[in-house]
Structure 1
Amino acid sequence: MPVADDLDTITERWPALQEATGSRPTTTWPPAMGISRLMSDEEQAEAAAERADTAPDAPGPRPTPVNVNVLDVMTTIETGLVTTADWLAERVQRPAFTWSTGRGWSDDIHRQAVLLSAKDAADPRRWRYTGRRSAPLAAEWLALRLRAAPGPFRPLDEGERQAVENVARMGAELIRRTLGDARRKEPLPYPCPLPCGGQLVIEGGDGQTPVVRCEDCGRTFTESGNDAA
């Protein structure tokens, strides 16, 4: 996938990320699936108690309605993008033209030169160090720089391109993970129920059916508890 597409992903998925800040934090990854039978009685009792404490009608104070984890992700992405845009603009953005004819405003040439300078400084393609600064705006501006869109800029060198690619890839991956678009793999604290007793890992989180797999014998277990060798 072209890295500029990662920046497009950030721009397009940002509203969904903002909406997710209002959702209740969950602990659904990794999902319990059919392997809950491998939990001890004590662990299952603790899990049931946790669900009771977080139920909407549970007694006691309610958790904050804001998903702090999502806010942290948004802050991380936005800081990375805006900082990168500031750094890149400092390097590749041409300063606005300035002309001084030494004549007064009544002089046509002087007036045209001043207006041209003001127009160049106000070019909407420029990155602004003040005013509206957000992750989507920075992502869009950086994507245009990667695509060498015309404007008051010089082309990016290889080091600059690599720096933008790194922050774009990081931001897009964080969004995919947070919104459940990325496939993930994590070890589970339960041995394989088959004689090998190997390490179990769970793969999923990308909208596909999660699968538990034994890294020793290679057997896989789906939500129904059936294994598919």
Structure 2
Amino acid sequence: MTTTATHLRTVALHWNDLHEAAGTPAQIGAFGLGLKGYLARLNADAEQLEYERHQAAHLRSLERDPMQLGTRPIPIRVQVLETMAAVHTDLLQCADAIAETVQRPPMKPPAPRRAAHARTRAERVAWEDHARRVQAAKDDAADRRRWRWTGIRPDAPYTALWLLGRVQGAPGPFRPLTKVEERRIGGVARACADRVERALDIAAQTRTLEQRHACGGRIDVHGGEGRQPLAHCTGCGRIWSEGGVIAA
């Protein structure tokens, strides 16, 4: 069973992969890309489809033509950027809410004392103890493990790892999570990891299209994990890919 900790690690470990993917062209043959359009036009004219395939290949060759002048911008994958923004927002909102309930307020410093010369050993000990308590309060307020609501917001990997620390009971100015809080983090972590895996196409996926096959059966599309997507009709059992029918 996949745990909340695994989901949070997935987000943190694959964040750089998302940055790289956001600046690369969409993978041909990734889950659902092109296949749904192909299925939607199963009854279209074969010659028209062939023409469109040749036209698309011609346009791709022009894009790669080294004779073209000028600096070409790096293609941006908007869907990956949207995924990153949504995951970051969800993690921040979850951490904000969790920290509000589990993070202990900073220690209150002792009341200031008027400067005076210690005349006895007891007075010197009292002053030294007061100084230690002042420093302890400062250190507690500045503890880097504390969650901050103001200033520059943490990035997604840091936020995921901060939540991981709360799930695993890492030391710090925090109380243990309640079951409700654990479930809240678990739900957010699972949804964020799923978005990351879908954006990077590193998880197996299955979807059922709204469009039905000519026989009336449902069409299930299987893909992900970098594999070429396949469609399967639950009615007649036909299986096909972008290239055409594989089995009937």
TM (norm. structure 1) is 0.81
For the pair 1:112 / 2:129, whether they are aligned, the reply is no
CA distance in structure 2 between the partners assigned to 1:185 and 1:42 by the alignment: 29
- Which secondary structure state, in structure 2, belongs to the residue aligned with residue 210 of structure 1? strand
CA deviation profile, 1:144-164 (whole Å, cap 9, x unmatched): 111122211111112211211
Determine which structure has greater relative contact order: mean sequence separation of CA pairs < 8 Å that are 6+ residues apart, divided by chain length: 2
- Read off the aligned partner of 1:12 and give its amino acid letter: L
CA distance in structure 2 between the partners assigned to 1:189 and 1:54 by the alignment: 29
Tell me what 2:119 maps to: none
CA distance in structure 2 between the partners assigned to 1:121 and 1:51 by the alignment: 61
Q: Report if the CA contact (8 A) 1:190-1:200 is conserved.
A: yes
Tell me what 2:213 maps to: 191
TM (norm. structure 2) is 0.76
CA distance in structure 2 between the partners assigned to 1:131 and 1:105 by the alignment: 38
Q: How does 1:98-177 map to 2 (within 5 A)?
A: 98-104=108-114, 107-129=127-149, 130-177=151-198
Q: How far 1:4 moved relative to its partner?
A: 1.3
- Which secondary structure state, in structure 2, belongs to the residue aligned with residue 226 of structure 1? strand
- Give percent identity, aligned residues only: 33
**TM-aligned CA distance change 1:168 to 1:95, over 3 Å:** same
Q: How far 1:51 moved relative to its partner?
A: 5.3
Q: Report if the CA contact (8 A) 2:238-2:245 is conserved.
A: no
CA distance in structure 1 between the partners assigned to 2:162 and 2:52 by the alignment: 48
- Which secondary structure state, in structure 2, belongs to the residue aligned with residue 204 of structure 1? strand
Largest Rg, 1 or 2: 2
- Read off the aligned partner of 1:177 and give its amino acid letter: R
Q: How far 1:95 moved relative to its partner?
A: 0.6
CA distance in structure 2 between the partners assigned to 1:26 and 1:170 by the alignment: 23
* Gap runs ≥5 in structure 2: 117-126
The alignment covers a number of residue pairs equal to 224
CA distance in structure 2 between the partners assigned to 1:75 and 1:85 by the alignment: 15
- Read off the aligned partner of 1:158 and give its amino acid letter: K
Q: How does 1:1-229 map to 2 (within 5 A)?
A: 1-25=2-26, 28=29, 29-30=31-32, 38=42, 40=45, 41-46=47-52, 48-50=54-56, 52-53=58-59, 56-57=63-64, 65-104=75-114, 107-129=127-149, 130-186=151-207, 187=209, 191=213, 196=215, 198-208=217-227, 210-221=229-240, 225-227=245-247
CA distance in structure 2 between the partners assigned to 1:225 and 1:124 by the alignment: 59
- Which secondary structure state, in structure 1, belongs to the residue aligned with residue 247 of structure 2? coil
